[in-house]
Amino acid sequence: MNSGKLQTPIDYLKGVGPNRATLLRSELGIHTYQDFLNLFPNRYIDKTQYYKIAQLQPTSADVQIIGKITHIKTVGEGRAKRLVATFIDQTGSMDLVWFRGLKWIRESLKINIPYVVFGKVQRFGSAYSIAHPDLELLEEHEKSLRIAMQPVYPSTEKLSNRGITNRVVNVLMQTLFQEVHNAIDESLSNSILDTLKLIPKKEAYLNIHFPQSQESLAKAQFRLKFEELFYIQLQLLVKNKLHKQKIKGYPFEQIGNYFTKFYNEHLPFELTEAQKRVVKEIRNDLGKPAQMNRLLQGDVGSGKTIVALLTMLIAIDNDFQACLMAPTEILAIQHYQGLSELCKDLDINIALLTGSSRTKARRIIHENLENGSLNILIGTHALLEDKVKFKNLGLAIIDEQHRFGVAQRSKLWHKNSLPPHILIMTATPIPRTLAMSVYGDLDVSVIDELPPGRKAIKTVHRYDNNRLKVFGFIRDEIKKGRQIYVVYPLIQESEALDYKDLMDGYESISREFPMPEYQISIVHGQMKPADKDYEMNRFVNGETQIMVATTVIEVGVNVPNASVMIIESAERFGLSQLHQLRGRVGRGADQSFCILMTGHKLSEDSKTRLQTMTNTNDGFEIAEVDLKLRGPGDIMGTQQSGVLNLKIADIIKDNEIMKISRNYASALLNEDPQLLKEENLPIRQMYAQLMKYKNIWNYIS
């Protein structure tokens, strides 16, 4: 783009002036011509037809009428004060009404001059009226850029109250176009334009603001959405490439004894194809002299732990140490127990370090870490303490990374002269669309099949009045020797209420399942950690059959014998939480069940969530529905909700365009990493400009 002209402050556009410029800046963030050009319409109104007053129907549809104003009067007092104009054509008369900006509007109206009026029709008694119509003198209407599709621009109440109506924005946009249409330079290469049959950029801008037909509008939207997503992907891929060039890592050149011995002799089950593929991707990364930065996604129970262990064994084969950091003590202990069991026949030293580790044990761990005799350290945030020094840390694995801050992760990097390879594991399926945009600078591996022999969990939705049947079902399962979870929602603001729900639930379950025949554990956030662990352990060891809990148990508790998950007030949970909770069962060979209990009053969104849960066990499918219901901001959590400030593309609806744009950006960088080829000059210039003017398209933060 010819950036000079487009970087002109908006104040200088004819018809704007200092007052309007201040409003456009504060209300819509428009500072320059460029910003205004990128104010894309929200929707379009078809203005191909003109109506006669006698043809009007009480449909409250948008209509367009040609006629004259014959009288103007002010009616009512105080807040009910309004301006009413009588508007006539050859077939009848109607009212035009204004409730705001009366003085300004009254002064601007002309009597007995032909106008084109546009707005929503309402009927009171037998009379029709339009409130706050768009008005244009017929003479002007015939001169202006004739458009069949009328764009409707984003606006705010303050703008319309101050007279900056959609009509005004439209006129300003026409003025802008007359000034800048020669300054709009092409920003994609000819080969991309030809292959995708994209229209030129100048034409795209013209057709997005002044479309002649549905078809020309669709072409313009595709072109501009592709470009926006293409530059976001280009930036992420460049960032990833730079990371690989700049951040050196230790090349793990050999696959040695530990890995091969474990793989050939001690693997407890045949790896799935997905696991084999992921191990191969990781081996490939580790062999290079650049730091690995990989995200491993796999649904609950898909076997991420075994992949983590194989990766650690490669590190140990190359004389390095490995660590695994988990967000909670329970999870860290489980990882420790699981890995110790898998490695029992290998000569490997594994230790566990958490907040509750005793001083004596800590001292031994610190010593063995520094002299290199400790191969694998598993723990919580305790791993980040300054006292924890490794002899040579080569690999750091982080479980459920969204629970750790960036600053905490970078502490791990500094435990060494060269940063260790990083593998981030998550069981929270991130929709592919978001993974591509938010984690676009990480390499992503996905384990998308469950180990053989795992039965899909049966999920059903039951209303509160079916509770007795549900209790009967629990009794039958306990008779078969199984264990049951009953989970209550926890919503921070009303802990008292949640606690009451939990205690009421606990009491009614204790009545139905009395001691000594049945034993019940209870776990909630207000208990002391030691009591919580005591109750958890009783359940893990099979001493209690029912565990009544709040969402404390969401992540990581592994009880293969638990086969039923009952979620109370399931409508109060989000989809990803429901899916995580369901993943607590189905870990053994028996058929498992998840029962979603709700009242009868359900919102549309709640119904969609419950239906999604009963229809599918696929975490990625669930995450896509969740993304549609909640929007990208919510899924990422507050710290990243402003991540994608897109002008025209929609990360959910334009998922397909996103994939295409990533493929093209990736192919481009493979062929021409520095963008030095002559044909890629427009892309290089646009990219340089994006890096310079951060406000052009607010791409990824």
CATH number at residue 15: 1.10.150
User: Is pLDDT at 540 greater than 90 in this prediction?
Assistant: no
> Residue 472 — very low, low, confident or very high, per pLDDT cuts 50/70/90?
very high
The answer on 281 and 384 residing in a single domain is yes
The residue from 146, 171, 193 where one domain ends is 146
Write out pLDDT tens, residues 624-671: 787 777 665 444 443 333 345 678 887 767 778 888 998 999 999 999
CATH number at residue 52: 2.40.50.140
Q: What is the pLDDT of residue 462?
A: 94
The answer on 587 and 479 residing in a single domain is yes
Task: Select from 436, 442, 349 the least CA-distant residue to 398.
Answer: 442
> Residue 512 — very low, low, confident or very high, per pLDDT cuts 50/70/90?
very high
CB 169 within 8 A of CB 155: yes
Does the residue 660 lie in any domain?
Answer: no
Q: What is the pLDDT of residue 78?
A: 83
> Residue 701 — very low, low, confident or very high, per pLDDT cuts 50/70/90?
very low
CB 392 within 8 A of CB 372: yes
Mean per-residue pLDDT over the chain, rounded:
84
CB 71 within 8 A of CB 97: no
Percentage of the chain with pLDDT > 90?
41
The answer on 133 and 58 residing in a single domain is yes
Does the residue 467 lie in any domain?
Answer: yes
User: Is pLDDT at 610 greater than 70 in this prediction?
Assistant: yes
The answer on 416 and 373 residing in a single domain is yes
Q: What is the pLDDT of residue 145?
A: 60
Q: What is the pLDDT of residue 693?
A: 57
Q: What is the pLDDT of residue 440?
A: 61
CA distance 451 to 272: 6
CATH number at residue 369: 3.40.50.300
Q: Average pLDDT of 124-128?
A: 82
Q: What is the pLDDT of residue 321?
A: 94
Which of 88 and 237 is assigned the larger pLDDT?
Answer: 88
Does the residue 245 lie in any domain?
Answer: no
User: Is pLDDT at 261 greater than 60 in this prediction?
Assistant: yes
Q: What is the pLDDT of residue 699?
A: 35
User: Is pLDDT at 216 greater than 70 in this prediction?
Assistant: yes
Alpha helices for 210-350 (secondary structure H)? 214-246, 257-261, 273-286, 304-317, 329-342
The residue from 592, 616, 640 where one domain ends is 616
- Pull the structure tokens for residue 82: 């309004």
CA distance 476 to 470: 10
Does the residue 476 lie in any domain?
Answer: yes
The answer on 263 and 384 residing in a single domain is yes
The residue from 94, 124, 146 where one domain ends is 146
Q: What is the pLDDT of residue 438?
A: 60
The answer on 116 and 9 residing in a single domain is no
CB 128 within 8 A of CB 108: no
Does the residue 686 lie in any domain?
Answer: no
The answer on 107 and 158 residing in a single domain is no
Write out pLDDT tens, residues 395-453: 999 887 655 555 565 676 677 777 899 898 887 767 666 666 666 667 788 887 777 76
The answer on 269 and 403 residing in a single domain is yes
The answer on 541 and 498 residing in a single domain is yes
> Residue 146 — very low, low, confident or very high, per pLDDT cuts 50/70/90?
low
- Pull the structure tokens for residue 108: 């601007």
* The total number of structural domains that make up the chain: 4
Range of the domain at 323: 257-286+303-426
Q: What is the pLDDT of residue 60?
A: 61
- Pull the structure tokens for residue 521: 């554990």
Q: What is the pLDDT of residue 696?
A: 33
Least confident of 113-127, 303-317, 365-379: 113-127
CB 153 within 8 A of CB 169: yes
Q: What is the pLDDT of residue 553?
A: 61
User: Is pLDDT at 352 greater than 50 in this prediction?
Assistant: yes
CA distance 549 to 551: 7
Q: What is the pLDDT of residue 59?
A: 63
CA distance 53 to 128: 8
Q: What is the pLDDT of residue 282?
A: 94
DSSP state of 651: T
374-384 burial code (b ≥16 CB/10 A, e <16)? bbbbbbbbbbb
Residue with tokens 């481009």: 668
The answer on 18 and 161 residing in a single domain is yes
Q: What is the pLDDT of residue 360?
A: 92
Does the residue 107 lie in any domain?
Answer: yes
How many alpha carbons lie under 13 Å from residue 208 in its C-beta half-sphere? 25
User: DSSP secondary structure string, 608-638?
Assistant: HHHHHHHH---HHHHHHHHHHHHHHHHHH-G
Residue 353, beta-bridge partner list: 379
The answer on 160 and 125 residing in a single domain is no
The answer on 598 and 526 residing in a single domain is yes
Does the residue 390 lie in any domain?
Answer: yes
Does the residue 448 lie in any domain?
Answer: no
Percentage of the chain with pLDDT > 70?
87
